[in-house]
Structure 1
Amino acid sequence: MGAGNGTPEKRINPWGQAVAAVALFAAIGGALWVSEGTSGNSGPPAASCSDEKPGKATGRVTGKQLCEALLRPDLAELLGTPAETAKTAFGNDGSVGLEGGKSTPMPTAEVEFDTYTVTLSATYDDLPVTSSYEVLGWDETQRTVLDRPAVLYSNRTMRINFRLDGGDAETGTGVPLRSLMVAQDTKDSGGSYDVTLWRADGMVPDDAVLLRVAEKVLPTVPGWAAGS
């Protein structure tokens, strides 16, 4: 398997690195996911939300629920590529392991098109979005989205090449991405939702596209209204 997978890479601090680890495993799972039911010359079926790692009922949103919110019928139109069809879609109930044995739940969903890949995640920590502005240390812009504090920031994907001979995988920087982190409640008491875009052609995603997707998708996430 000699393919490169694009996944968000956070580089500045342990908190960011832990978030990147969950996104990394989620993206690998999505790359390996194969839709069922392909036969004959009927062509591949439309992507549907598979659940990579079903979680226990916790009162929090699950990866599959995030996937179902993200995989909307008009998602390609929101991305500005209405003729495209989603190739893969999945949800993952992952968590971030931090120092001291603490684990932070971080369910993630990803939908891939020919042009764009879109991810949606929920992080259940005690870090307000307004504080993350200083913690992340990236090129960020604070703003308000859907009446909640938000941070718009840039990063790059991580490229992973798996060797067919069983040797160590090689990693490197990939394509640029744009992400929007939005507080889970209007008081910004901790926790966030992240919507991220990257393009297969390596171009920087348009912020207008990212915001359009986020403003349509986030209000449909189960539990969103409870944070108003």
Structure 2
Amino acid sequence: MAHDIDALPRGAGAWGQAVAAVGLIAAIGGGLWVTEGISLSGSEPRPATCPGGEPGKAPEAGNAAEAGAAPQAGKAPRRVSGAQLCEALNRPDLAELLGTPGEMAKIASGNGGSLELAGGKEIATPSGQVEFETYTVTVTAAYGRLPVAESVAFLGYGAEQRTVLGRPAVLYSDRTISISFRLDGTDATSGPGVPARVLGVAQDAEDSGGSFEVTLWRSDGRVPDDAVLLRVAEKVLPTVPGWAAAG
């Protein structure tokens, strides 16, 4: 039995904050992305839950700020995990924010990925993802040193500088890769996927490096509406642990 999925390719975005296709397939093979929150026994379906979380329960902004409180002098900033990003994204009103009220989250996941740069240095790129019938949404944190304002030069034609939630931001287009594979792990193939829209927002108001990216794509292959992407980002990002502390 063959399955097709869309995923962001490694290297996608200004900082390459995406899950490698092989890692994505491994997660599916392990059952996390396929079975989490989905009833297989014929009973009434339930919304997907993040690993170790509750369906549709997002952290409140105040609690998120406390969880990611500003570090003491001389200590590295506290980093958010893929599970925390999933919890922030998988909120009970997410389908309504997407303009598809009544749809139920099919898959919710968190990943603690990283991107290896030339010379062997790695940048932590944890991510959370929630998939609906119409949309898939991903929130990724990238802990590199590239300011968001400088990333516009690398993103090419069509990238737009914005200010979102009082912080420097960039809005641009990307494309997923389509991965087809069998459940036994054989005959895996990949090719061009569907268009995606991405909003990168600086992790702090000074734009000192690093970003949070919200990526949105549609299962029907249509280009997502920027208004939908911005609406989701403006609700979700303030609930990510450490957001308020870095403001």
Q: Please confirm whether the aligned pair reaches a TM-score higher than 0.5, indicating the same fold.
A: yes
Residue identity opposite 1:227 in structure 2: A
The 3-state SS of whatever aligns with 2:100 is coil
Aligned pairs for 1:184-195 (under 5 A) are 184-195=203-214
Other-structure match for 1:108: 127
After alignment, is 73-82 or 91-100 more displaced?
A: 91-100
Residue in structure 2 matched with residue 155 of structure 1 by the alignment:
174
Distance, in Å, in 2 between the alignment partners of 1:123 and 1:188 is 13
- Does 2:21 align with 1:2? no
Q: 1:207 maps to which residue?
A: 226
What secondary structure sits across from 1:100 in the alignment? coil
Count of residues in correspondence between the two structures: 219
Cα deviation, residue 30, structure 1: 5.8
Give the share of equivalent positions with the same residue, in percent.
58
3-state secondary structure, aligned to 2:123: strand
TM-score normalised over the length of structure 2: 0.80
Supply the distance in 2 between the matched residues of 1:158 and 1:12 (Cα, whole angstroms).
10
Query: Which residue matches 1:48?
Result: 49
Q: 2:139, 2:12 → 1: CA distance?
A: 21
Task: Please tell me the residue identity of whatever aligns with 2:135.
Answer: Y
- Please give the root-mean-square deviation of Cα atoms over the aligned residues, in Å: 2.5
Q: Aligned residue for 1:76?
A: 95
Q: Verify the 8 A CA contact 1:7 1:159 in the aligned structure 2.
A: yes
Q: 1:19 maps to what in 2?
A: 17
5+ unaligned residues in a row in structure 2: which ranges?
53-76
Deviation at 1:40, TM superposition (A): 4.0
In structure 2, the CA distance between the partners of 1:8 and 1:138, relative to structure 1 (3 Å rule), is farther
**Structure with a larger share of its residues in helix:** 1
Match of 1:87 among 93, 96, 106: 106
| CA distance in structure 2 between the partners assigned to 1:167 and 1:30 by the alignment | 14
Q: Which amino acid aligns with 1:119?
A: T
- Deviation, structure 1 residue 12: 8.5
1:133 paired residue number? 152
User: What is the CA-CA distance between 1:162 and the residue it aligns to?
Assistant: 2.1
Q: Is the 8 A contact 1:138 1:155 kept in 2?
A: no
Displacement of 1:157 in angstroms is: 0.9
Secondary structure of the 1:219 match is helix
Distance in structure 2 (CA, Å) of the matches to 1:192 and 1:77: 25
Can you list the C-alpha shifts for 1:93-119, whole angstroms capped at 9, x where unaligned?
A: 111111111110010000000000000
What is the CA distance between 1:156 and its match in structure 2?
1.2
Q: Distance in 1 between matches of 2:208 and 2:191?
A: 35
CA distance in 2, matches of 1:165, 1:26: 16
- Cα displacement string for residues 176-222 of structure 1 (whole angstroms, at most 9, x for unaligned residues): 11010000000000000000110011111000000000000000000
